[in-house]
């Protein structure tokens, strides 16, 4: 595939994603998308995350470290056992305190401290960085496969 066509396709795809997100955001703001709060949306989002992580992360980790990769799945499995009770409490507190993020929630529990909110936000960004890097790596690897002059194999 010619490089220019590949770049144009990627840019068009990103523009399409942003347009879809923009349209959904506007319709959700006026209440025109009741299915947006459906468990199906959450399930599909989680499946996208798990697919990307499994394909680009867990398989490589398992190849490098053997059975140690089981710890990747053990943590989320343990969290799912008690998540319903924790989630219900978080939602209740979030509604009472009128907070919309984890940083706001923790900050509100300790006197609405702005410094604490900033620290929690920085920790969340640092914790999410490996996942963002994983997504960028998957895009780069996929781009290289399509852009290579010789077929991969």
Asked whether residue 86 carries a pLDDT value surpassing 60, the answer given is yes
Query: Do 97 and 139 fall into the same domain?
Result: yes
**Secondary structure of residue 101 in the 3-state scheme:** coil
Asked whether residue 11 carries a pLDDT value surpassing 80, the answer given is yes
- Give whichever of 48-52, 55-59, 116-120 has the largest mean pLDDT: 116-120
pLDDT of 21-31, one tens digit each?
A: 888 888 877 87
Is the separation of the CB atoms in 58 and 75 below 8 Å?
A: no
Q: What is the pLDDT of residue 122?
A: 95
The answer to the question of residue 153 being in a domain is: no
The answer to the question of residue 152 being in a domain is: no
| Overall number of domains in the chain | 2
Query: Do 29 and 66 fall into the same domain?
Result: no
Query: Could you give the angle at which helices 39-53 and 114-147 cross, rounded to 10 degrees?
Result: 60
pTM, two decimals, is 0.50
Average the pLDDT over each of 15-29, 53-67, 86-100, 113-127 and give the range with the smallest value: 53-67
Is the separation of the CB atoms in 143 and 10 below 8 Å?
A: yes
The answer to the question of residue 109 being in a domain is: yes
Query: Do 137 and 89 fall into the same domain?
Result: yes
Structural domain that includes position 23: 1-37
Query: Do 86 and 140 fall into the same domain?
Result: yes
Q: How far apart, in Å, are the Cα atoms of 33 and each of 27, 40, 41, 95, 124?
A: 6, 13, 12, 21, 29
Query: Do 100 and 63 fall into the same domain?
Result: yes
Query: Do 23 and 52 fall into the same domain?
Result: no
Is the separation of the CB atoms in 90 and 105 below 8 Å?
A: yes
Asked whether residue 108 carries a pLDDT value surpassing 90, the answer given is no
Query: Do 91 and 131 fall into the same domain?
Result: yes
Query: Do 69 and 14 fall into the same domain?
Result: no
The answer to the question of residue 22 being in a domain is: yes
Q: Residue 121 and residue 147: Cα distance in Å, rounded? A: 37
């Amino acid at each position: 595939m010619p490089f220019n066509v590949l770049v144009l396709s990627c840019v068009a795809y990103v523009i399409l994603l942003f347009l879809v997100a923009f349209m959904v955001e506007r319709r959700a703001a006026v209440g025109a998308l009741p299915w947006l709060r459906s468990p199906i949306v959450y399930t599909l989002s989680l499946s996208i995350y798990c697919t990307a992580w499994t394909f680009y992360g867990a398989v490589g980790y398992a190849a490098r470290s053997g059975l140690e990769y089981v710890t990747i799945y053990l943590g989320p499995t343990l969290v799912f056992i008690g998540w319903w009770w924790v989630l219900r409490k978080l939602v209740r507190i979030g509604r009472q305190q009128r907070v919309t993020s984890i940083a706001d929630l923790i900050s509100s529990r300790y006197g609405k401290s702005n410094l604490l909110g900033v620290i929690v936000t920085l920790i969340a960004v640092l914790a999410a960085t490996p996942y963002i890097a994983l997504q960028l790596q998957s895009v780069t690897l996929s781009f290289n496969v399509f852009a290579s002059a010789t077929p991969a194999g």
